[in-house]
Amino acid sequence: MRIGCPKEVKDNEFRVGLIPAAVKAYVDAGHEVVVEKGAGVGSNITDEEYKAAGAKILDSAKEVWATSDMIVKVKEPLPQEYDLMRENQIIYTYFHFAADEELTKACLEKKIIAIAYETVQEADGSLPLLKPMSTIAGRMACLMGAYYLGKPHGGMGLLPTGVPGVAPANILVIGGGSVGSNAARVGAGLGARVTILDVNPNALERLAQTMPPNVFPVFSDSHTLEAGLREADIVVGAVLIPGAKAPKLVKREHLKMMKPGSVIVDVAIDQGGCTETSKPTTHSDPVYIVDGVVHYCVANMPGAYARTATYALNNSTILYGLQLVKKGVERAVKENPALLKGLNMYKGVITFKPVAEAFGMMDNYKPAEEVIK
């Protein structure tokens, strides 16, 4: 099989789908790898490193897409890439279909085979290909919140660490999963008082046992959410329903009870965001203000720390990628239930129900088990 790695085209996206070690793993397994010229520059990976690992360098993304059986990316195809997709081509990347109807329709029309990193799910409920980026985005969240609390950036001018005689910030984290727990740890490390909300008693117990003493796990309901929003200087949206749209837990009217100059960092923006006032932003234009509250909603947060993110992602994706190219998609997903959950589309059919439900496209849906049997 020929595996292709084009350069990412999303705004300020410096990650890349393959590292040299992953290239070598595919080549050693008997496959061919082509990489677009300069694809790894943003992650400080040179074309020479790819060549040394056994890849062939092609001059354009068009050549990579046109000659590859499987495309390995980081972010979803953008409109300028839609015409490059080919029928029956395997695309192995983050898709986040439920937040993007245009992308969903384009991939259906092109009849690609979509393996979505974010929905590959092991039997224990873990999301191994989402976790590394969730970890990075979670650790970034409070750092970004701290930065935008600065008065020159629209914030209230509060230093989250506090100083002797002045209290530190209050941070509210909504969701106690990978993003939320990492955000809470960093917030605690800054010296802030952190409240982390979740509806799962087991998650709350785990957080209570593992978090620093300035992190307070609290059961999430309308009362505790509103109380937390009133006190918060930074709010981190860390809610996740795998593959589905994020629930809009923070309503527009909630902003009026928040402090002027407070900051919302909506890490759930990839899945549509968990506040009603969230809309995707970019690293080149990351924030906007609604009702006095600063919103940071960058849809590819880990791209800012591309080298770390690229290597962390590849450490996980290569394991499943090798199964796909060794066995072919059909056999690989039949034999690995985790990969079966990652199959979101198959040759013009939606195979992941939350995506079909998000846009009322149930006529285009068939369970993955039925499509590939």
DSSP state of 55: P
Q: Which residue has the tokens 């984290």?
A: 173
Q: Which of 71, 74, 118, 8 is nearest to 342 (CA)?
A: 118
Cα separation, 184 vs 172, whole angstroms: 9
Contact between residue 237 and residue 229 where contact means Cβ atoms under 8 Å apart: no
Q: Which one from 96, 100, 233, 266 is the annotated catalytic residue?
A: 96
Contact between residue 247 and residue 241 where contact means Cβ atoms under 8 Å apart: yes
Contact between residue 173 and residue 236 where contact means Cβ atoms under 8 Å apart: yes
Question: What SS3 state is found at 342?
Answer: helix
Contact between residue 33 and residue 3 where contact means Cβ atoms under 8 Å apart: yes
Q: Is 270 a catalytic residue?
A: yes
Residue 159: exposure state from Cβ atoms within 10 A (0-12, 13-18, ≥19): middle
Cα separation, 140 vs 144, whole angstroms: 6
3-state class percentages of the chain: helix first, strand second, coil last, to nearest 5: 45, 20, 40
- Count the residues in the chain: 373
Neighbours of 32 (CB within 10 A): 16
Q: Which one from 100, 233, 266, 270 is the annotated catalytic residue?
A: 270
Cα separation, 67 vs 319, whole angstroms: 23
Q: Are strands 113-116 and 343-346 parallel, antiparallel or unpaired?
A: antiparallel
Cα separation, 117 vs 320, whole angstroms: 10
Cα separation, 18 vs 47, whole angstroms: 12
Residue 38: exposure state from Cβ atoms within 10 A (0-12, 13-18, ≥19): middle
Catalytic residues: 96, 270
